[in-house]
Amino acid sequence: MTYEFELPDVGEGVAEGEIVSWLVEVGDAVTEDQPVAEVETDKAVVDVPSPVDGSVAEIRADAGEMVPVGDVIIVFAEDGEETATDEEPSDAPDSTGEPASDTDDERVFAPPSARRLARELDVSIEAVEGTGPSGRITTADVRAHAETDESGSEPTQAIESVETDSVPATSASREITLAAPATRKLAAEEGVELNAVPTDKTQEGEAFVTPAQVQQYAQSQQAAQAADVAAIGAPSGREERIPYRGVRRTIGQQMEASKFTAPHVTHHDEVDVTQLVERRSTLAEVADEQGVSLTYMPFVMKAIVEGLKEFPALNATLDEDAEEIILKHYYNIGIAVATDAGLMVPVVDGVDRKGLLQLSSEMNELIEKARERSIAREEMQGGTFTITNFGAIGGEHATPIINHPESAILGLGEIKEKPRVVDGEVVVRSVMGLSLSIDHRTIDGATAAQFANTVKRYLETPELLLL
């Protein structure tokens, strides 16, 4: 029997996912729990495992396609059952309704997207000449074959051609435009409005657009655009459209919700970390012997915890429905990490209960997982306060956006040598910028400044962290 596998709920609140890549092809044998696809959610890329032992009978979603949770993405033939392969019985009719040719016994190399397009365009996949690697058939090959068929004999379809002396149906002379799903997909890829495509075909009195007409119209529009660009002497290809979805869209929605919910106020300050630089350099050698890379971040995390203990308003959330401020008596610190997909915030739990080496080890592991997009959703939840280190790319101060529903976020600037007056003399000191954004609904500016002073005291004299 076959098993239709639906896109599972790979994380709390996830409604859809993007198929990043397929790890199997039709006909491949699979075992239970073997990864068959990579799916990007709004937080990370996750592997989707096979639920059964068997083989791949059909793949129903293309790489790059957004699929709602619950939609069937792949069909398996369980062990003991025959698997649908690329070959078809020699006496079976192909997609054009004609008897299958002798070449059907040969394997046809074509991805699911090309096969699906062939079915939609009423094209025999076996008749298409592949131009991809090792003769692999691409969607462009299928479209080209369909155009060749159109220029010759018309396929048998429920389409009536208008008289040759009639005017092509344009957007001004039709109310509804009909098109196959593949044609609509092609139009979306080419950035073409279907209603604008001229056509001389009708179906049941309504305009019907073919893939060839979409491509022809797209090419004419591109040529016209190129001519306009050339006329003004400007370079072509000045714009590019990138899908706004997945992690990037989630980040944007979170930032928008935070900025328009919590009135932000940012307190800027600087801290002399000369002693910290020296202590960290000494301790880093000890950490290296234990296989741990010790950065400044664990020191900052411990200093923040001491500040939060003195000023718990910054370690809180606002329950707007209940009209209550929830003070947290635990300290889970999020570390904002820049990845190829955008900003992600892994969370280190129980910072107050852990030493510098343990914090370093856990933090480094979480950051690596975030950059590899293998981090679990729960590893980015439950934070009570967030740190963002824009100094890693050279900045001194910024205006960080709070990781809502938290109440505050601390930005770290680059450590730079600056002149400072010490005991009446101008000396060179290592200085780091601090940028503290707070939710002004629950935190006063004075409280923010006092919190920053506490953090500064521990960073200026790191021996205090040992008490």
Residue 267 falls in the annotated catalytic set? no
Q: Which CATH number fits domain 2-150: 2.40.50.100, 2.30.40.10, 3.40.50.2300, 3.40.30.10?
A: 2.40.50.100
* Domain ranges across the chain: 2-150, 160-232, 265-466
DSSP string, 273-309: -HHHHHHHHHHHHHHHHTT----SHHHHHHHHHHHHH
Q: Which of 264, 268, 397, 440 is catalytic?
A: 440
Q: DSSP string of 47-89? A: EEEPSSSEEEEEE-S-TT-EEETTSEEEEEEETTSPPP-S---
Bridge-based pairing state of the strands 66-68 and 16-22: antiparallel
Give the per-residue pLDDT at 218.
Answer: 80
Give residue 63's pLDDT: 85
d(C-alpha 387, C-alpha 336), whole Å: 6
Q: For residues 213 and 218, what is the distance between their CA atoms, to the nearest angstrom?
A: 8
Reduced to 3 states, what is the DSSP secondary structure of residue 389? coil
| pLDDT for position 91 | 41
How does pLDDT run along the chain (467 residues), one tens digit per residue? 788 999 887 655 567 788 888 999 998 999 988 889 988 776 567 788 898 899 999 999 988 888 888 899 999 998 765 444 444 443 433 433 343 333 333 456 666 566 767 777 888 888 888 776 556 677 778 888 887 766 554 443 333 333 333 334 444 445 566 777 677 777 777 777 777 788 765 544 456 778 878 888 887 777 766 665 555 554 456 888 877 777 777 778 888 888 888 999 999 999 999 999 999 999 999 999 999 999 999 999 999 999 999 999 999 999 999 999 999 999 999 999 988 777 889 999 999 999 999 999 999 999 998 888 788 888 999 999 999 999 888 889 999 999 999 999 999 999 999 999 999 999 999 999 999 999 999 999 999 999 999 999 999 999 998 77
Radius of gyration for the chain, computed over Cα atoms and rounded to the nearest angstrom: 30
Hey, how many other C-beta atoms are within 10 angstroms of the C-beta on 157?
13
Instruction: Indicate the DSSP class of residue 175.
Output: S
Name the strand (E) or helix (H) holding 151. Answer: helix 139-151
Rounded to 5 degrees, φ, ψ at 240 are -140, 135
Write out the two tokens for 194.
């279907």
Residues 6+ apart with CB under 8 A from 132: 109, 138, 141
CA 179, CA 142: separation in Å to the nearest integer? 17
For residue 453, how many C-alpha atoms fall within 13 Å in the half-sphere facing its CB?
A: 8
**Two tokens at 226?**
């190129």
Domain 265-466 superfamily per CATH:
Chloramphenicol acetyltransferase-like domain (3.30.559.10)
- What element of type H or E holds 387? strand 385-388
| pLDDT for res 252 | 83
365 contacts: CB under 8 Å, gap ≥ 6: none
